[in-house]
Amino acid sequence: MADAEPVGNTTATATLPLLPPSFCAFLRDNHIDAEVYNTSRQLPRYVRIIRYHQRSKHYIDELVQQIQADAGCKVSKVDSVPGFVEIADQAIRLSQISAYNNGDIVGMDVSSGIAALAMSVEPGDNVLDLCCAPGAKLLLLADLLDNHRSNTSAIQRGTVTGVDISPHRAATCRSLVKKHAGNDRGFIRVFVDDGTTFDCKAPQHGWHDPQAVKAASASVNSPSSSSDSSVPKAKRQKRAVSGQPWFAPKLLSTAYACSGTQLYDRVLVDAECTHDGSLVHVQKYAQWGWDQLDTQVVDGNKSVTVPILQSKLLENGWRLLKPGGVLVYSTCSLSRYQNEFVLGGFLARHAEDEAVLEPIPLLAGSGVIVTSPIWTPVDDDEWDRAGLSQRRSVFSRMRHAVRLNPLVSNTSGMFIARIKKLQHGAQLEESEIVTLALPPSTQQCTPQPI
């Protein structure tokens, strides 16, 4: 592999090892400011307090003090994002913090928390997390439902359904749920499935009532009827079966519960991306080897295939959302091709009487989290060069989407859009699910200084 090249000034490169030429070319082709990667050591580390809304102020204050004592650096609450705590030194290992070992906190960047909270989960909601691994957002969503359940009847209890295509990543998600979810485990399903084609609706009304499930299950096939009886029971339980959860409590894993016809009230599409906005993620490749960065981010045709995958995930999530519901689309990429161009392609397929972007409530007022506007061509020449002159109205509809830029937000990079569904639209052909534009391939790039 070619030698790494410097990014920015020599002082900044001391905080992040030299980046390989292929990644620098990826940044150029995707219009990403390489200066972002000079800030990695300056960003804090974030954690989230489990079941924050159930904790007393005294408990939380003491917990923050204990985290500070263990970390040996400044620790403070993120006032504008409930439940999140900022640890000044990013290099602190969670394993040295007793609250983490005790299961009271979980590692989660505040940018991811904002994306999940942007859905405004309400009592009784059935929530779908279409790309759920490694599980931090899934756990947060379950926490929010648990917060509401204290004042609601059993009939109003909601559910959280997670989907991930990778059994390995789903296993990570399952472990996180088992460790931290507590009683919330009874309201969570995790499927190993393709998010672009996933078609399991929300659990049927009465799923939480054992008698209702028992009565209704007689009219549907039992999950065991589709299992291979020649396989030992222990192994059958670990097998991912299409249409059945890979992890769920008994009441949510019966054929009755998985034969629901209701659409979801809230859908989160935190789409698979190149993770270039996650500075900690990029930094880890210095230890893992830059060859892995090439494989997972810039090699092959990912710059083209990832936005297409994201468009399909977004479209399927929208199909599973009920009218009046809210979908949040987010990525931890800084590439306009994975953000504005994917969202713009979606809006071009769905008229204003079907889909409308809304402000993100958590970011609507003044606060410590500073957002950046979405990318938009600045003049007629740029509109023409980008081939977007006929798409100005689409960008106008995107005005409530936001970017979290590490240079100003003090978080990892994130793109977030909150979309309300007004009504169903026409069924689309797969060939119609496209982005506004695709980036040039970085596969054969020539290293150049930044």
pLDDT in single tens digits along all 450 residues of the chain: 444 444 443 333 334 457 788 888 888 888 898 888 875 557 899 999 999 988 999 999 999 999 999 999 999 999 889 999 999 998 899 999 999 999 999 999 999 999 999 999 987 899 999 999 999 999 999 999 876 544 545 456 789 999 999 999 999 999 999 888 877 788 899 999 999 999 999 988 778 778 877 777 776 654 444 444 444 444 444 455 666 788 888 888 877 777 788 999 999 999 999 999 988 888 788 777 777 777 777 766 788 899 999 999 999 999 999 999 999 999 999 999 999 999 999 999 999 999 999 999 988 765 668 899 999 999 999 999 888 999 999 999 999 999 999 989 999 999 999 999 999 998 899 999 999 998 765 433 333 333
Token pair for 353: 């009487």
Residue positions counted in the chain: 450
Q: Which amino acid is at 348?
A: A
> Given the structure tokens 């990318």, which residue do they identify?
375
Instruction: Out of 131, 173, 273, 332, pick the active-site residue.
Output: 332
Q: Would strands 264-270 and 188-192 be described as parallel, antiparallel, or unpaired?
A: unpaired
Token pair for 274: 């190149």
Q: Which amino acid is at 408?
A: V
Burial of 365 (0-12, 13-18, 19+ CB in 10 A): exposed
> Given the structure tokens 């759920």, which residue do they identify?
132
Instruction: Write out the DSSP string of 196-207.
Output: TT----BPPTTT
CA distance 192 to 3: 39
332 in catalytic set: yes
Token pair for 370: 């500073």
CA distance 22 to 446: 8
Known binding-site positions? 164, 194, 270
Burial of 60 (0-12, 13-18, 19+ CB in 10 A): middle
| Single pTM value for the model | 0.88
Q: Which amino acid is at 51?
A: R
Which run of H or E residues covers position 192?
Answer: strand 188-192
Token pair for 143: 């926490």
Q: Would strands 159-164 and 126-129 be described as parallel, antiparallel, or unpaired?
A: parallel
Q: Per DSSP, which regions of 241-363 are E strands? A: 264-270, 321-331, 355-358
Ramachandran angles phi, psi of 403, nearest 5°: -115, 145
CA distances from 56 to 62, 79, 83, 187 (A): 10, 15, 12, 24
DSSP H helices in 353-426:
361-364, 380-385, 392-397, 406-409
75-77 β-sheet, strand order: 75-77, 84-87, 45-49, 105-107
Known binding-site positions for S-adenosyl-L-methionine? 164, 194, 270
Token pair for 290: 């830059």
